Chains A and B, each alone.
Chain A
Amino acid sequence: MNGDAGLPPVASANVAVADPLERAIARVLTVGTYVSVAVLAVGTAMMLASGVQPLAGGPRFDLGQVGDDLVHLRASGFLWLGLVAVVATSASRVVASLVGYLRGGERLMAVVALLILAVIVLSVGLAIGLEG
């Protein structure tokens, strides 16, 4: 239940420091999402142009290969870049929150943001560790 976007304005939680922070985070989310979708659209157009069969099974994610694919303008490079950007957008929002809370002197919320980032890093570490 994600709700609809057509909600009436309701006063948000707490104090003055939240307003510019919420605006900054909203910008990070909106811009990040639009950029991610645009990169995915470029990758999809290139995929169509190169005649790839989508249901034949795509390549596995390989960070080293992504750079090479981008340099050589291969569809998979743009598709992976867009997908990484999708995930990174959410993480960027937490980084923006961390900076905002540190600037605002809200140490407890800064620790919460830091712990969320730690869980994300742990997810990456566990996934890589289990694959290796």
Chain B
Amino acid sequence: MLIVLLLIGGGVAAGLFGSLLGLGGGILIVPLLTLGFGLPLITAIGVSLVCVIVTSGAAAGVYLERRVANLRLGMTLELFTAIGAMTGGLIAFLVPERFLELLFTGLLIYVALTMARRDDPPLDTGLAPEDPAVEGDDDQSTAERLSGPGYRVRRIGFGVVGSLGAGVVSALLGIGGGLIKVPVMHVVMGVPLRVATATSNLMIGITASAGAIIYLLRGGIDPYVAAPTAIGVFLGATLGSRTAQRIDIRVLRGLFVAILLYTAWQMLQRGLM
């Protein structure tokens, strides 16, 4: 009984933090389950992928209803994130757990440094800066088909490569892959930040599903752990989306960076043991 409540509570915390800071829960769920509950990393990653799908599903529905996400762009890129995730899911069962732990340590440090340096986005349209020099380097009809009002998608080839990479990392480490997809769409492809964030969220469901299927069928998902954790993450993410306006994100971000660095240190020690 107590363990189930702790799993739900941990999931609520991960979902709440993730929702308030614009991250998927995976970055917190994997360390929570490995360092907090002593589960094997491969099981934690499988459970995390399930949680990521749940949070993405609920939020992506809202994004589509509000017409923020770009469905065509998301579907085109998620074809490649799914291929990457399928590959990553297969690789994850072949590499030593220690390798994954060290890789996850690197990810935690990267996210901590990114969060520490991040400024709050300006309250403008969120449009990406135009770079006329690179416009027109993709097939016109494809770029137009994938573009939206106020912006034109460019460098689709980079988007494809970034999506493949995001898919591999997602399935290897149990995260949504938004850390890669959002910068690629926004900075490289010229998609407005808000649209890139919403579109990434939409894509995460398929990205994580392609990886989760491999984990599910290869015994990498423990239903007794996955269910309470996923319920907690769902509740936490729902709560977070409703309280985001009332919380000082700067304080929360500082706390989050400290937690990530502490977790990275713990994960590093585990990987080097």
Chain A residues close to B by CB (< 8 Å): 1-14, 18-19, 21-23, 25-27, 29-30, 32-34, 36-37, 40-41, 43-44, 47-48, 52-61, 76, 79-80, 82-84, 86-87, 89-91, 93-94, 97, 108-109, 112-113, 115-116, 119-120, 122-124, 126-128, 130-131
Contacts and interface: CB of A to CB of B under 8 A. Distances in A.
B82 A3 contact: no
Q: Interface on chain B toward A: helix, strand, loop, or mixed SS? A: helix
B104 to A, nearest CB: 17
B271 interface: no
Interface in B50-105: 50, 53-73, 75-76, 78-79, 82-83, 85-86, 89-90, 93
Contacts, number: 271
Contacts of A22: 64-65, 67, 69, 71
Interface residues of B, number: 94
A73 to B, nearest CB: 15
Given A43-B223, A83-B50, A83-B223, A123 B89 contact: yes
A36 B24 contact: no
B230 A123 contact: no
A58 B244 contact: no
Nearest to B241: A5
B263 interface: no
17 contacts: A1-B22, A1-B178, A1-B179, A2-B59, A2-B200, A3-B63, A9-B68, A10-B125, A12-B71, A30-B62, A47-B224, A90-B53, A109-B72, A112-B76, A116-B78, A123-B86, A130-B93
B65 A26 contact: yes
B110 to A, nearest CB: 12
